[in-house]
Amino acid sequence: MSTRVPSVLITGASRGIGRGLALAMLERGWQVEATTTSLKVLQQKEPALLTSGISWHELDQGRQPAVAQFIHTLKTRQSRFQMLVNNAGIYSGEPDRIFAVNFFGLVQLTSGVQALLPENALIANISSGMGSLDQFSKKAVKELLRPDLELHQLEKLCQAYCQDRQFSAHHGWPGNPYSASKAALNAYSRIANRDRQHSGQRVISICPGWVKTDMGGPAAPRSIPTAISGILDTILHSALTGGQFYRDGRPIPW
Ligand SMILES: NC(=O)c1ccc[n+]([C@@H]2O[C@H](COP(=O)([O-])OP(=O)(O)OC[C@H]3O[C@@H](n4cnc5c(N)ncnc54)[C@H](OP(=O)(O)O)[C@@H]3O)[C@@H](O)[C@H]2O)c1
């Protein structure tokens, strides 16, 4: 099915980078569907966003049943998206909560909406330079970069990271769970891109840089508009190669 106006689904668009990106894509003529963890809070904090032309959905990506319900809603409505931007993310909390939002919920959502994405769709995972493989042992890097790494094997590593406090020390993963979750997300981008090659769908990771948002804090050197411009330079670039990590429209090392 083709729609005249291209559409994008952006998670975590109530604040920060997701909010900036949703408004920028709306301005460029895209139909934007977006998520917030609470429509009530959004109504209180920024009611204008609710009437901006963006279609809003409530989603806590860290809760499996909520993600399943959201996928069901999108399927029932027969939604179609040329692009999925997995932006929602958290920095703080217990490892299992960080992984639930930044990795497991994202994977569940991306797999669940596969049928709603056309052949040439782009899936952009907003990752972080903090997920760089520099912080992993050589053995762990080798394992994560294995071209035949399967999703279930990656999920098992992530579950072990969350359950075993000694995992990072024993397996050469970083002690910071945010870094670990973003490295896992990058591994997912490589796996999902490889597994979707037959469909022409591309999956990439993007680092927005260190950005002045609630997460990035006031000391961050980048403004939200600068970060959005770098993201748009990447996702609206037709010569984009799937399975790569981008910053400001250019591939960077994992
Ligand atoms: N800021 C930086 O310097 C920086 C650097 C590298 C990467 N990143 C990445 O960029 C993305 C956006 O970051 P940001 O700086 O814009 O963060 P932010 O200002 O903290 O905004 C986070 C967004 O994610 C949503 N979110 C949080 N928990 C969620 C959950 N459980 N389910 C669904 N949505 C949830 C929030 O929704 P609510 O408002 O409803 O809570 C909000 O819209 C994240 O993936 C982050 O890791 C940021």
pTM above 0.95, yes or no: yes
| C-alpha 86 to ligand 1 mean position (Å) | 10
Residue with the smallest CA separation from ligand 1 atom 1 is: 216
Residue 36 Cβ < 6 Å to ligand 1:
yes
| C-alpha 36 to ligand 1 mean position (Å) | 10
pLDDT digits (tens, 9 = 90+) for 169-181: 999 999 999 999 9
1 occurs within a structural domain: no
Residue with the smallest CA separation from ligand 1 atom 36 is: 12
In this prediction, residue 1 carries a pLDDT of: 47
Number of domains present in the structure of the chain? 1
Residue 181 Cβ < 6 Å to ligand 1:
no
Of the pLDDT bands very low, low, confident and very high (cuts 50, 70, 90), residue 93 is: very high
Mutational pocket test of ligand 1: of 50, 215, 247, the residue with most ligand atoms within 8 Å of the beta carbon = 215
Residue 12 Cβ < 6 Å to ligand 1:
yes
195 occurs within a structural domain: yes
2 occurs within a structural domain: no
The CATH code of the domain that includes 68 is 3.40.50.720
Residue 206 Cβ < 6 Å to ligand 1:
no
pLDDT digits (tens, 9 = 90+) for 41-88: 999 999 999 999 999 999 999 999 999 999 999 999 999 999 999 999
Mean pLDDT of 163-173: 95
In this prediction, residue 72 carries a pLDDT of: 98
In this prediction, residue 239 carries a pLDDT of: 84
| C-alpha 12 to ligand 1 mean position (Å) | 6
Residue 66 Cβ < 6 Å to ligand 1:
no
pLDDT digits (tens, 9 = 90+) for 115-145: 999 999 999 999 999 999 999 999 999 999 9
18 occurs within a structural domain: yes
| C-alpha 227 to ligand 1 mean position (Å) | 13
**CA–CA distance, 186 with 189 (Å, rounded to integer):** 5
82 occurs within a structural domain: yes
- Work out which ligand 1 atom sits closest to the CA atom of 15: 43
- Work out which ligand 1 atom sits closest to the CA atom of 17: 16
Mean pLDDT of 26-39: 98
In this prediction, residue 237 carries a pLDDT of: 86
167 occurs within a structural domain: yes
238 occurs within a structural domain: yes
Domain extent for 75: 7-252
